[in-house]
Structure 1
Amino acid sequence: MKDNRNMILAIVLAGIILFGWPFLVDKFFPSATQPSTRVENGQVVANPQPEADPTADTPRALRSRAVVLAETPRVRIDTPRLQGSINLQGARIDDLTLTRYNETVADNSPPIRLFSPGGAAGAYFAGFGWTGEGLTPPDGNTVWSASAPVLRQGQPVTLSATSGGQRYQIQLSIDDGYMFTARQTVGNGGAGAVAVQTYGYLSRADIGSDKDSWTIQVGPMWVANGAAEYGINYDDVTEGAQSVSTTGGWAGFTDHYWLAALIPDQGRAAQLRFRPGANGGYQADYRTAAPTILQPGKAVTQTARLFAGAKEVDLLDRYEDQENVVFFDKAIDWGWFEIVEKPIFYLLDWLFRAVGNFGVAIILLTFIIRGLMFPIAQKQFASMAGMRVVQPKMKALQERYKDDKAQLQQEMLKLYKEEKVNPLAGCLPLLLQIPIFYALYKVLLLTIEMRHQPFALWIKDLAAPDPLTPVNLFGLLDFAPPAFVAIGVLPILVGVTMWMQFKLNPQPMDEIQKQVFGLMPWILMFVMAPFAAGLQLYWATTNILTIAQQKWLYSRHPGLKEAPAK
């Protein structure tokens, strides 16, 4: 009766895992980026992803983006990483595409668009300005003059305007990455002193298509007073303004792979703020904390920066280390396991640059990890051999002291000491694998360096799930199965290799445990199906190496294969 109850409990638990996992993972552990490919009629084709462009022209657009861009005079932006333009009406940076990143894996896919002008769908733009007593600064309708028609690296452009007796200049420059520098100068041409404060702003019409989750920060974030704040979301901003005062820090909107951030002078006190936009959107801004009193005939210059681009790890680290942008690497929400995740990323990125294929780099990473853990695995197998020998004695003790749990524990500990075995030794490799596995999961999920990286054959994006599934006869049937049952080839390989691994393990004496272990590989096959193909490739390779390792260690410990004595 007890065995039947245990079996029913095991089946119920397996069902909860199988059917409850998709709901849990969607909230707390997003399994992968959105599928970038599908298999159709036996061919791998790119999925259309208009949501990858948060400002694409749609029926909701007030006007075509091309029409809006043509309505005002502009300065062109031309760098190897960025293309776009600066709107001279309002001095806004409101037209920006990332030339190195495309929306999909298709050859003719357009580049990712980050900024788009007001008046088009999903407007998203940045600007700098002044406020203060005695000032009538330029506004959104002011048309500025430009010192050059094109902004390039090493070729800054100065925007100039006059308003209320004061002369205003914004000198914009851009580096080899995604960082704009704005030198804001105001000259007092009036008869009296004025109080001057500078500010910068980011205006966004909607929240974009990326989803915020427990493991990925999407939405407003700032770094203030030596700490990164991930707890603010768009709903919080809608309910009311959020603000903080700090010296050193930044604020902006982060998407899964993209970031727009305002960076005030890191040595000057400033107020960072998020607030609802005028037309239902969202705004991030900063303002210098104390005004500067500017006497007639004098001028003052203050410098701020704007990052608008991809969250490339090396670039973020460079801006933090070399340009003193406080905690800029926190734009990627590494989480608690950063101490493991970053080394995994750097090693994987180095392997990728060495071999030129990200899938091969994952396989090499697996070999390195298994090689480092090999001595531990040897001890594990030796311990398993010892446990195999003492199983009959353990069974006898369980029968003898089944009504005295305290005495049973004492006798078990005595037996382990006499036989020199450790029942927990077999768990150590698994425990060591957990942070490594989770770190690789986060690296595949978070870092843009892994986005749209192919492996071989039908695997065109290792950061997305395996698109090839037998459920629709590998794409020959014209329907897309739901993610829950779309079990790809790689998850199937994970399940099969895990089943083979369990079969090679010493079989437990308890029949219920045998049945649970028999079900586990196939449950994990369903659990792993929606995860990134790169993670599945790592697990399958780990299983294959473990099987080979088991075969070799069985030759060293033949007691593992022998049936325990009665």
Structure 2
Amino acid sequence: MENRAVLAAVLMAALLILYQVLFVSSPAPPPPASAPEGVAKPVPTPEKTAPPPAVLPPARPLPRFAERTVAVDTPLYHAIVGSEGGRLLGWTLHYRGEKVLAERGQMGLSGLILERPGVGGAPVEFTITGGPVTLDGKAGEGTLVMTGEDAYGVRVRQTATFRADQYAVDLAVRLENGRREPQTLAVALPWVAPVKPGTPGAQWPAELVWQVDGTVHREPLDKAPVAEESPGDWAGLDSLYYLTALIPKSPGLALALGKVGEDRVEVGLRGAVTLGPGQVWEARAQLYAGPKEYRQLRAHGLEGAINFGGFPLPRRYGGLPMEWLGVPVLLVMNFFYRFIGNYGVAIILLTVVTKVLFYPLTVKSMTSMKKMQTIQPQANALRAKHKSDPQRAQRETLELYRREGVNPLGGCLPMVIQVPIFYALYIALSVSVELQNAGFICFGRAPDWLPFVGGADLWICDLAAQDPLYVLPILMGVTMFVQQKMQPTMGDPNQAKMMLIMPFVFTFMFLKLPAGLVLYWTVSNALQILQQRLMNRKPARVAGRGAKDVARV
């Protein structure tokens, strides 16, 4: 039985590490073109769906002015809005330092664009009123009003409402046809980013992510198709910890996403509009640009952007969705953080809660393994006695298990049941933006002149990064070694040697993993040692009979 338990532990660890290397860091592609029925597929942009007017109204030349910019400052971010379509020239989060999500000439919201068949499109030249916006408190809101008119007489009004306690911006667009002729046009609101990362320090996206009828799809930026249009719930550009997304709030808006040229991608909203003389068209949308905190995302229907993966395979290969387990892990960890203010301590408490919940299963596993170790001499004697008759040896061994009340799977099954739970904990901690730049025991940065550690953090100042001093991985290896030494002695010398090697292998594998994950594993090992010590004090019920039973056999 120890063989099965060891195998289960090794497979679990291998599964976790392989998932981290192969799947967490590499975003999953979206469903292929032959998606199952019921999932809306991207379709070519319906550029000819609305009939063009018989005669396109003549365009009148518009004066060009130097772009005016307006600053928006809230406790959560600093933004710069330009008068060309209301585009975002800058968006910097105040989140565990400064995190750049939009940068002039690199990535950001391109602004409101009006397009016409055969003519193309251009951003609307706006006059902005209501700025600058400064929100100091935890509540309150500010609004920028942008008005303008394009070369074909369509009067445009766009309002952007910012809130002090949200990373989302409410957008409202109003078009009015000022001509006597009907007009057909398209309204576009794209967020553009490069396929490859640009300026160091910005939070560059890694994949397209969008949701259609509650189902989330993902595709790496370098594999994105040519820009396509599709109905859906929202579309965004996503990295491990941050998300920029556009959410349609009016039925006339569809998702538009994909490559624009060879080196840029866009996600956004698009609507086809036909305006009669004096007719008005209105639409509403929402922009989110912030961290992938579950609470913030859930408030805007974006919680599907957090990739909890699947078990035992990634979702795209048919794995079981793990949101049902990963979300409670995040909620419990954040609950502890609200009272303690330290995510390292919150992880320790989360580990304790997990151990308490699984205490009965762990005790059952340890008790069964101890009984198996106690009757191992009898089982070995039976195998030696019936060496020439393996079937009889197996029958006699099973009868021995039945007589002693030992379940051969008793030590393995409780461990196997816990594997999905530990897997969910692992993934939840891997994708938790709350751990980025969150310290545990942090003494600042070491002076550059110090040998070996000069310029490194002292000690854990970022739970999402590796331990710069490798203290936690070494502690994890030591606790694992002590835990192995406390296990019942194995009869197979080769197994015993393998178990002694495993702590060194795990220490090497954990050197580069986030400190938050290594902290969880180290504390889990320490609690397991304590639990094993308590169990070892209890004598096995069959302990006193082993020698006599061997003699009898």
TM-score, structure 1 as length reference: 0.74
Instruction: Classify 1:422/1:244 alpha carbon distance in 2 versus 1 (closer, same or farther; 3 Å).
Output: farther
> Who is 1:72 aligned against?
67
Question: Aligned partner of 2:112: which letter?
Answer: F
Native 8 Å contact 1:83 1:97 kept in 2: yes
Alignment of 1:438-457 (within 5 A): 438-457=423-442
Query: In the TM superposition, what is the alpha-carbon distance from 1:137 to its structure 2 partner?
Result: 9.0
> Who is 2:57 aligned against?
none
> Who is 1:36 aligned against?
none
Question: Aligned partner of 1:299: which letter?
Answer: V
> Who is 1:461 aligned against?
462
1:124 aligns with 2:108: yes
Native 8 Å contact 2:473 2:507 kept in 1: yes
Query: In the TM superposition, what is the alpha-carbon distance from 1:375 to its structure 2 partner?
Result: 2.0
Native 8 Å contact 2:213 2:233 kept in 1: yes
Native 8 Å contact 1:98 1:113 kept in 2: yes
Query: Which of these residues, 73, 77, 83, is aligned with residue 82 of structure 1?
Result: 77
Native 8 Å contact 2:158 2:172 kept in 1: yes
1:261 aligns with 2:245: yes
User: Residue 127 of structure 1 aligns to a residue in which SS?
Assistant: coil
1:345 aligns with 2:319: no
Query: In the TM superposition, what is the alpha-carbon distance from 1:370 to its structure 2 partner?
Result: 1.6
> Who is 2:215 aligned against?
227
1:193 aligns with 2:193: no
Alpha-carbon distance in structure 1 between the residues aligned to 2:333 and 2:208? 30
The one-character-per-residue Cα deviations of 1:367-426 (angstroms, maximum 9, x if unpaired) are 222222222232223222321232122112323444555444443333222221012222
> Who is 2:356 aligned against?
371
Question: Aligned partner of 1:502: which letter?
Answer: Q
Question: Aligned partner of 1:388: which letter?
Answer: Q
User: Residue 111 of structure 2 aligns to a residue in which SS?
Assistant: strand
Instruction: Classify 1:428/1:209 alpha carbon distance in 2 versus 1 (closer, same or farther; 3 Å).
Output: farther
> Who is 2:89 aligned against?
94
The one-character-per-residue Cα deviations of 1:273-332 (angstroms, maximum 9, x if unpaired) are 21224x7322223322xx443221221211122111222210101112xxxxxxx11111
Alpha-carbon distance in structure 2 between the residues aligned to 1:137 and 1:30? 38
Question: Aligned partner of 1:459: which letter?
Answer: I
Question: Aligned partner of 1:554: which letter?
Answer: N
> Who is 2:131 aligned against?
149
Query: Which of these residues, 420, 437, 440, is aligned with residue 435 of structure 1?
Result: 420
Alpha-carbon distance in structure 2 between the residues aligned to 1:335 and 1:201? 28
Instruction: Classify 1:412/1:533 alpha carbon distance in 2 versus 1 (closer, same or farther; 3 Å).
Output: same
**Alignment: residue pair count:** 462
Instruction: Classify 1:429/1:159 alpha carbon distance in 2 versus 1 (closer, same or farther; 3 Å).
Output: same
Alpha-carbon distance in structure 2 between the residues aligned to 1:407 and 1:293? 85
1:356 aligns with 2:341: yes
Alpha-carbon distance in structure 2 between the residues aligned to 1:534 and 1:429? 25
> Who is 1:423 aligned against?
408
Alpha-carbon distance in structure 1 between the residues aligned to 2:305 and 2:81? 25
Native 8 Å contact 1:384 1:560 kept in 2: no
Question: Aligned partner of 1:221: which letter?
Answer: V
Query: Which of these residues, 255, 258, 263, is aligned with residue 280 of structure 1?
Result: 263
Native 8 Å contact 1:506 1:561 kept in 2: no
Alpha-carbon distance in structure 2 between the residues aligned to 1:184 and 1:25? 43
Question: Aligned partner of 2:181: which letter?
Answer: G
User: Residue 202 of structure 1 aligns to a residue in which SS?
Assistant: strand
> Who is 1:34 aligned against?
none
User: Residue 387 of structure 1 aligns to a residue in which SS?
Assistant: helix
Native 8 Å contact 2:371 2:540 kept in 1: no
Question: Aligned partner of 2:159: which letter?
Answer: Q
Query: Which of these residues, 477, 500, 503, is aligned with residue 518 of structure 1?
Result: 500
Query: Which of these residues, 305, 309, 315, is aligned with residue 335 of structure 1?
Result: 309
> Who is 2:191 aligned against?
202
User: Residue 186 of structure 1 aligns to a residue in which SS?
Assistant: strand
> Who is 1:305 aligned against?
286
Native 8 Å contact 2:133 2:143 kept in 1: yes
Alpha-carbon distance in structure 2 between the residues aligned to 1:85 and 1:257? 22
> What's the RMSD between the two structures over aligned residues?
3.2
Query: In the TM superposition, what is the alpha-carbon distance from 1:225 to its structure 2 partner?
Result: 3.3
User: Residue 197 of structure 1 aligns to a residue in which SS?
Assistant: strand
Native 8 Å contact 1:554 1:561 kept in 2: no
Native 8 Å contact 2:257 2:265 kept in 1: no
Native 8 Å contact 1:91 1:144 kept in 2: yes
Instruction: Classify 1:268/1:124 alpha carbon distance in 2 versus 1 (closer, same or farther; 3 Å).
Output: closer
Native 8 Å contact 1:198 1:302 kept in 2: no
Query: Which of these residues, 142, 148, 156, is aligned with residue 161 of structure 1?
Result: 148
User: Residue 179 of structure 2 aligns to a residue in which SS?
Assistant: coil
> Who is 2:536 aligned against?
554
The one-character-per-residue Cα deviations of 1:414-456 (angstroms, maximum 9, x if unpaired) are 3222221012222244334433332232222212111111111
Instruction: Classify 1:151/1:407 alpha carbon distance in 2 versus 1 (closer, same or farther; 3 Å).
Output: farther
The one-character-per-residue Cα deviations of 1:147-200 (angstroms, maximum 9, x if unpaired) are 222245532111111121221111111233111222111111111122343221
TM-score, structure 2 as length reference: 0.76
Unaligned runs of 5+ residues in structure 1 are 1-9, 32-69, 103-110, 211-216, 321-327, 469-487
User: Residue 397 of structure 2 aligns to a residue in which SS?
Assistant: helix
Unaligned runs of 5+ residues in structure 2 are 1-5, 27-64, 135-139, 200-204, 311-321, 443-458
